[in-house]
């Protein structure tokens, strides 16, 4: 078909990996909720009381104000990188490497827990003021540090993709959208942000700001350090410039070009899918498939069985495929959120209305009226 001919292997790899990252990050987030609930139940059995409002301090919930101002903050950051990249590139590279190290360690943690379970206890080892860590956590962090060091020395795109995957999963797992209202505010604002900086920034700044910032390589910190310390012409000078892990890149089968997808185009829709997955689980646990006011008309039992997560995930797949085809047709960078936001939000809103869940999902969907509720409130 014509659609198939407009998509090469690199783009297929990009959106398949992005879908896997969203699914994995969403289920890691849901698993963290289960672990927090188990801890709260253990604490309640120990202390004789249960506090349903307690949350994990490491989880960041986005409120309406943050959702409105996040596109503005992202625009300011983009302009800073556009005008002052030469001045801040080393600091930005180091900060990105540190964040990528922590995020990739989080990505590797389940595998390391599986590997260390037969041969070592899960007791934590104390490192003084640094904290206490299990053997699996130490192993995942060591592997992550090793990967980042190899990436700094080689600059290989596969290692950059691995670090970008860790950032995607960590952000989806640790950042939460509390309601459909906040989700609509955030994604709508980011859609406008993405469209403006891709399509209209060239008219103001004589350059496509988004594309230039996303594709501009940074000086290698080892090269900068060798020049600052005057270590000689052969020390640290043969290391490559680094393309920062703020995107996924895959080479085409011919090697003539790379397909690129920013991690924001994965994380932001991923937060929406994480939200609907948690809502599906909440409804299933509370045995209230008919909660909320009934929607208009008769809704078939088959449609009632379709989960919001599967509906939104299919929308993400179709939206990303549409963005991929559009980029090949126009032979230019496309704002992926222009396609992803409508294809995810509109089916979700329609299904929520037909199922009668729209009002509840719009505001405080996880709030339980029962004081004895054992669900995590986020």
* Lowest-confidence pick of 94-103, 267-276, 362-371: 362-371
Q: What angle do CA 329, 266, 354 make, to 5 degrees?
A: 90
State how far the Cα of 35 lies from the Cα of 331, in Å rounded to an integer. Answer: 46
State how far the Cα of 252 lies from the Cα of 249, in Å rounded to an integer. Answer: 10
State how far the Cα of 77 lies from the Cα of 80, in Å rounded to an integer. Answer: 5
State how far the Cα of 79 lies from the Cα of 367, in Å rounded to an integer. Answer: 39
State how far the Cα of 114 lies from the Cα of 96, in Å rounded to an integer. Answer: 28
Half-sphere exposure of 308 (CA within 13 A, CB side): 29
**3-class secondary structure, 268:** helix
Q: List C-alpha distances in Å: 341 to 39, 201, 250.
A: 36, 21, 23
pLDDT score of 122: 66
Look up the pTM and report it: 0.86
pLDDT confidence bin for 114, thresholds 50/70/90: confident
Half-sphere exposure of 161 (CA within 13 A, CB side): 18
pLDDT score of 302: 65
pLDDT score of 370: 41
Q: List C-alpha distances in Å: 97 to 90, 270, 289.
A: 10, 22, 45
pLDDT in tens, 120-164: 666 777 777 777 888 888 999 999 999 999 999 998 989 999 999
Closest CA to 244 of 211, 216, 210: 216
pLDDT score of 42: 67
* Lowest-confidence pick of 35-44, 59-68, 276-285: 35-44
State how far the Cα of 303 lies from the Cα of 150, in Å rounded to an integer. Answer: 49
Percent of the chain surpassing pLDDT 70: 81
Q: Which of 36-45, 326-335, 337-346 has the highest mean pLDDT?
A: 337-346
Closest CA to 282 of 196, 175, 360: 360
Closest CA to 11 of 318, 249, 216, 194: 249
**Which residues are part of the catalytic machinery?**
194, 265
Rounded to 10 degrees, what is the CA torsion of 312, 315, 319, 324?
Answer: 100
Mean pLDDT calculated for residue range 356-366: 86
What number of other Cβ atoms are within 10 A of residue 326's Cβ? 16
pLDDT confidence bin for 367, thresholds 50/70/90: low
State how far the Cα of 94 lies from the Cα of 31, in Å rounded to an integer. Answer: 31
Half-sphere exposure of 271 (CA within 13 A, CB side): 27
Q: Residue 88: pLDDT above 60?
A: yes
Domain ranges, ordered by start, for the chain: 9-41+59-119+130-286+299-363
pLDDT confidence bin for 291, thresholds 50/70/90: very low
Arithmetic mean of pLDDT over the chain:
82
- For 327, the token pair is 């980029």
pLDDT confidence bin for 102, thresholds 50/70/90: very high
Burial 286-316 (b: 16+ CB within 10 A, else e): eeeeeebeeeeeeeeeeeeeebbbebbbebb
pLDDT score of 43: 63
Mean pLDDT calculated for residue range 187-216: 91
pLDDT score of 287: 53
What number of other Cβ atoms are within 10 A of residue 189's Cβ? 18
Percent of the chain surpassing pLDDT 90: 42
């Amino acid at each position: 078909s014509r659609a198939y001919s407009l998509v090469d292997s690199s783009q297929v790899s990009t959106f398949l990996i992005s879908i896997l990252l969203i699914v994995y990050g969403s289920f890691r987030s849901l698993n963290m909720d289960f672990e927090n609930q188990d801890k709260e139940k253990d604490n309640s059995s120990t202390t004789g009381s249960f506090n349903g409002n307690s949350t994990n301090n490491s989880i960041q919930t986005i409120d309406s104000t943050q959702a409105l101002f996040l596109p503005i903050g992202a625009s300011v950051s983009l302009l800073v990188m556009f005008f002052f990249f030469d001045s801040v590139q080393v600091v930005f590279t180091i900060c990105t490497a540190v964040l990528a190290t922590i995020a990739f360690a989080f990505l590797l943690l389940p595998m390391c827990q599986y590997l260390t379970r037969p041969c070592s206890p899960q007791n934590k080892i104390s490192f003084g003021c640094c904290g206490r860590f299990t053997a699996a956590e130490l192993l995942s962090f060591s592997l992550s540090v090793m990967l980042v060091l190899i990436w700094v020395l080689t600059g290989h795109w596969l290692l950059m993709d691995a670090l970008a995957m860790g950032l995607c999963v960590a952000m989806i797992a640790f950042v939460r959208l509390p309601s459909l209202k906040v989700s609509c505010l955030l994604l709508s604002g980011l859609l406008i942000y993405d469209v403006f900086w891709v399509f209209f920034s060239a008219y103001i700044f004589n350059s496509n700001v988004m594309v230039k910032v996303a594709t501009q390589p940074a000086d290698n910190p080892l090269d900068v350090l060798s020049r600052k310390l005057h270590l000689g012409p052969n020390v640290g000078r043969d290391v490559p410039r680094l393309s920062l892990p703020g995107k996924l890149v895959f080479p085409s089968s011919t090697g003539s070009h790379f397909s690129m997808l920013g991690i924001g185009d994965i994380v932001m829709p991923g937060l929406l899918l994480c939200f609907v997955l948690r809502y599906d689980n909440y409804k299933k646990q509370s045995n209230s498939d008919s909660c909320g006011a009934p929607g208009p008309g008769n809704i078939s039992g088959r449609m009632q069985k379709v989960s919001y997560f599967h509906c939104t995930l299919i929308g993400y797949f179709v939206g990303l495929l549409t963005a991929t085809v559009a980029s090949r047709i126009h032979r230019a960078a496309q704002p992926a959120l222009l396609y992803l936001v409508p294809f995810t939000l509109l089916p979700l809103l329609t299904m929520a209305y037909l199922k009668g869940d729209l009002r509840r999902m719009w505001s405080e969907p996880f709030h339980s009226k029962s004081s004895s509720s054992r669900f995590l409130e986020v």
